[in-house]
């Protein structure tokens, strides 16, 4: 139920000719099967771009992304969507305002020609801790936390092995963030998912991830175990600065 | 806390067309200090901040007292209010991307505050603005003065906002989530600049935020709001010894560096919190 991910020399440029901008000069990291791997860095450092490349939402990159030893480019679309799914940052922007939760959850089942739709939808919605009656609600009838749960249910309905989480809680209050983080932890314990999680909050990384990569201007400066945060065990100057700033901000001195 | 800048008693705000009040009887006083207002989204913290500047068209504001220095804010006409806003009391907004005018040069927007409130030449306003940009630690302020908002970074944009709001030397600054759009490293720089200026000039500061770490480090006193009411007032240093279950719940829900990685405590909202008051 879980897969490993190997990203090798992933690079991408936007634009062409003289105005081309190399966003990722060459990113490499590997995520073990069942691991929660964090990507941190300031805005514009290319964290989300990495996720978009791994998920093939952006597909004109160079390099190699291997999922359980198979290149993500060689996976047929249908199989790829069954293997990996993404949860986006903003629960207010990622759900269609005119589609009910049922429509959102039903569509992937239709595309992938899966049976027992009602049963699968009920399971997905209970898995994320919402009552079954919420299937008939529209996004405006849900709070931010509930919307993010629906977004996670949408990602889960195809039973993927790899979840790409793009700042899943940064639009939410701490109290709601706690609920979503607990949910993600519980799902990982139950199903053995592999997570790649983009965030700018090192406290969340320390709470959730096993290892994390610090990115700066498209490059992975350092890959560290989560224990290195509390002690600031980074060696690269930028990683040290980032962790130091977070520690100072938290008031842990 | 020698002199009271702001005295608010039993403030109630109802948005037009809404059957319930967004703010239900908030009272506090502010001296030359840094006051934090924390709460979740929808708790009414920003509404309180905006009510101080009367920036809530269509809303009904009532209070037993809403006094800013010697002025009764509720009695002022809109014309008189214009002399208060930006001059004696100003507000730093959340996101510089949306709060700066995209088609006007940054410096002109900063200088406008000075031109509007003081009798002076354009040259003088320009010099004041450049000096202020320098005070918020912008390197090469002359160049930034001539740039447009899309040409500067988010951290710089927020410093421009701070410069704009402090230029007229107000007595009270309300900062509404001043750094939540910024990265951690930049966030600290901006907060330190704001903190330094507020201390040096003896300005009263109201910091509205959902971030408990921020108010713990950058405020003297903290009000905790829940559903339009203040449930607890604390010294920022005593935040960890909060008495109210809501404050305790918020603190426990926060993941911490070096924490146990056990599932986080989830807020169990009690209906009686809605009714009780301080």
Instruction: Find out whether A134 and A81 touch, Cβ atoms under 8 Å.
Output: no
CA dist list (Å): B262 to A201, A227, B256: 18, 15, 11
The residue written with tokens 């705000």 in the block is: B13
Sequence-ordered list of residues with C-beta below 8 angstroms from that of B257, at least 6 positions apart, any chain: A202, A203, A206, A229, A230, A246, A247, A250, A252
Tell me the HSE value of B101 on the side-chain side, using a 13 A CA sphere: 10
Instruction: Report the gap between the CA of B69 and the closest CA in chain A (Å).
Output: 33
Instruction: Find out whether A227 and A197 touch, Cβ atoms under 8 Å.
Output: no
Is A241 an interface residue toward B (CB < 8 Å)? yes
Is B254 an interface residue toward A (CB < 8 Å)? yes
pLDDT-based confidence at A27, cuts 50/70/90? very high
Tell me the HSE value of A227 on the side-chain side, using a 13 A CA sphere: 0
What are the percentages of helix, strand and coil residues in chain A, rounded to 5? 40, 25, 35
What is the predicted pLDDT for the residue at B63?
A: 93
User: How many beta carbons lie within 10 A of that of residue B266, not counting itself?
Assistant: 14
B254 chain-A contacts, CB cut-off 8 A? 174, 178, 203
What is the predicted pLDDT for the residue at B277?
A: 54
Instruction: Judge: B253–A177 Cβ closer than 8 Å, yes or no.
Output: yes
ipTM, two decimals: 0.79
Q: What integer best gives the mean pLDDT of chain A?
A: 89
Instruction: Report the gap between the CA of A183 and the closest CA in chain B (Å).
Output: 9
> CA B227 to CA B23: how far, in whole Å?
8
Q: What are phi and psi of A22, to 5 degrees?
A: -80, 110
How large is the C-alpha radius of gyration of chain B? 19
For chain A, list the domains and their CATH numbers.
Answer: 5-250 (3.40.50.300)
Question: Each residue of A32-52: pLDDT tens digit?
Answer: 999 999 999 888 788 889 999
Question: Each residue of A103-116: pLDDT tens digit?
Answer: 999 999 999 999 89
Instruction: Find out whether B51 and B11 touch, Cβ atoms under 8 Å.
Output: yes
Task: Give mean pLDDT, residues A225-248.
Answer: 90
- DSSP conformational letter for B264: P
B38 chain-A contacts, CB cut-off 8 A? none
Instruction: Judge: B41–A173 Cβ closer than 8 Å, yes or no.
Output: yes
Of residues B183, B249, B267, nearest to A42 (C-beta): B183
What is the predicted pLDDT for the residue at A253?
A: 42
Instruction: Find out whether B278 and A226 touch, Cβ atoms under 8 Å.
Output: no
Instruction: Find out whether A205 and A38 touch, Cβ atoms under 8 Å.
Output: yes
Instruction: Report the gap between the CA of A154 and the closest CA in chain B (Å).
Output: 23
CA dist list (Å): B192 to A80, A194, A252, B137: 47, 39, 17, 11
Instruction: Report the gap between the CA of B35 and the closest CA in chain A (Å).
Output: 18
Residue A92, judged by CB atoms within 10 A of its CB (0-12, 13-18, 19+), counts as: middle
What are the percentages of helix, strand and coil residues in chain B, rounded to 5? 40, 20, 40
> CA A224 to CA A232: how far, in whole Å?
10
Helices (H), B167-243: 184-201, 212-218
What is the predicted pLDDT for the residue at A110?
A: 94
Instruction: Find out whether A26 and A11 touch, Cβ atoms under 8 Å.
Output: yes
What is the predicted pLDDT for the residue at A1?
A: 67
Beta bridge partners of B225: B230
> CA A75 to CA A96: how far, in whole Å?
28
Task: Give mean pLDDT, residues A198-214.
Answer: 92
A182 chain-B contacts, CB cut-off 8 A? 263-264, 266
**Structure tokens belonging to residue B175:** 């900062």
Instruction: Judge: A174–B263 Cβ closer than 8 Å, yes or no.
Output: no
Is B263 an interface residue toward A (CB < 8 Å)? yes
Instruction: Judge: A241–B261 Cβ closer than 8 Å, yes or no.
Output: no
What is the predicted pLDDT for the residue at A101?
A: 93
Taking 70 as the pLDDT cut, the residues of chain B under it are: 1-2, 276-278
What is the predicted pLDDT for the residue at B103?
A: 94
A45 chain-B contacts, CB cut-off 8 A? none
Closest CA to B162 of B203, B127, B125, B122: B203
Of residues B183, B256, B266, nearest to A179 (C-beta): B266
User: How many beta carbons lie within 10 A of that of residue A191, not counting itself?
Assistant: 16
Annotate A68-93 with DSSP letters as a single string. TTEETTTS-HHHHHHHEEEE-S-TTT
Dihedral sign from CA coordinates of A38, A41, A42, A47: negative
Question: Each residue of B82-132: pLDDT tens digit?
Answer: 999 999 999 998 888 788 999 999 999 999 999 999 999 999 999 999 999
| 3 state DSSP class of B218 | helix
pLDDT at A252 over 80: no
Instruction: Judge: B210–A252 Cβ closer than 8 Å, yes or no.
Output: no
Question: Each residue of A172-201: pLDDT tens digit?
Answer: 888 888 988 999 999 899 888 999 999 988
> CA B90 to CA B75: how far, in whole Å?
19
Residues 203-222 of B with CB under 8 A from A: 210, 212-214, 216-217
What is the predicted pLDDT for the residue at A204?
A: 92
Interaxial angle between packed helices A144-156 and A174-191, expressed in degrees from 0 to 180 and rounded to the nearest 10? 20
Tell me the HSE value of A35 on the side-chain side, using a 13 A CA sphere: 17
């Amino acid at each position: 139920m879980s897969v490993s991910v190997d990203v090798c020399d992933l690079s991408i440029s936007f634009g062409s000719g003289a105005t081309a901008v190399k966003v990722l000069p060459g990113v490499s990291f590997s995520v073990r099967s069942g691991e929660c791997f964090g990507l941190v860095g300031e805005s514009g450092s290319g964290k989300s771009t990495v996720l978009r490349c791994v998920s093939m939402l952006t597909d004109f990159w160079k390099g190699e992304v291997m999922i359980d030893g198979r290149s993500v480019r060689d996976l047929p679309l249908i199989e790829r969507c069954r293997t990996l799914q993404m949860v986006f940052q903003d629960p207010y922007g990622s759900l269609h305002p005119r589609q009910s939760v049922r429509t959102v959850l039903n569509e992937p089942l239709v595309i992938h020609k899966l049976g027992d739709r009602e049963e699968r939808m009920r399971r997905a919605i209970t898995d994320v801790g919402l009552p079954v009656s919420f299937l008939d609600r529209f996004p405006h009838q849900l709070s931010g936390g509930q919307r993010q749960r629906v977004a996670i249910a949408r990602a889960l309905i195809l039973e993927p092995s790899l979840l790409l989480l793009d700042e899943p809680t940064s639009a939410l209050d701490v109290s709601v963030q706690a609920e979503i983080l607990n949910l993600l932890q519980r799902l990982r314990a139950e199903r053995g998912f592999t997570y790649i999680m983009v965030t700018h909050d090192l406290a969340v990384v320390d709470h959730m991830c096993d290892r994390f990569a610090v990115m700066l201007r498209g490059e992975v400066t350092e890959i560290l175990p989560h224990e290195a945060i509390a002690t600031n065990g980074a060696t690269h100057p930028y990683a040290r600065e980032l962790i130091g700033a977070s520690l100072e901000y938290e008031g842990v001195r | 806390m020698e002199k009271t800048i702001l005295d608010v008693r039993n403030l109630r705000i109802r948005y037009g067309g809404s059957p319930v009040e967004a703010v239900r009887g908030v009272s506090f006083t502010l001296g030359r200090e840094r006051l934090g207002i924390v709460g979740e989204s929808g708790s009414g913290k920003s509404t309180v901040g905006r009510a101080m500047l009367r920036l809530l068209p269509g809303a009904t504001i009532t209070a037993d007292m809403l006094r800013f220095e010697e002025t009764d804010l509720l009695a002022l006409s809109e014309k008189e209010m214009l002399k208060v806003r930006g001059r004696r009391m100003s507000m730093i907004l959340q996101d510089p991307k949306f709060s700066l005018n995209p088609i006007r040069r940054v410096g002109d927007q900063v200088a406008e505050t000075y031109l509007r409130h003081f009798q002076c030449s354009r040259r003088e306003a320009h010099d004041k603005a450049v000096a202020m940009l320098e005070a918020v630690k912008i390197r090469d302020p002359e160049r930034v003065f001539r740039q447009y908002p899309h040409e500067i970074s988010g951290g710089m944009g927020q410093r421009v906002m701070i410069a704009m709001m402090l230029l007229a030397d107000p007595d009270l600054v309300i900062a509404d989530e001043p750094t939540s759009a910024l990265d951690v490293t930049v966030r600290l720089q901006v907060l330190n600049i704001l903190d330094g200026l507020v201390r040096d000039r003896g300005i009263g500061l109201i910091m509205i935020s959902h971030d408990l770490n921020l108010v713990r480090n950058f405020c003297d006193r903290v009000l905790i709001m829940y559903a339009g009411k203040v449930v607890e007032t604390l010294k920022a240093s005593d935040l960890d010894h909060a008495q109210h279950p809501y404050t305790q719940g918020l603190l426990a829900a926060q993941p911490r560096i070096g924490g146990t990685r056990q599932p986080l405590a989830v807020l169990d909202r009690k209906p009686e919190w809605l009714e009780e008051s301080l």
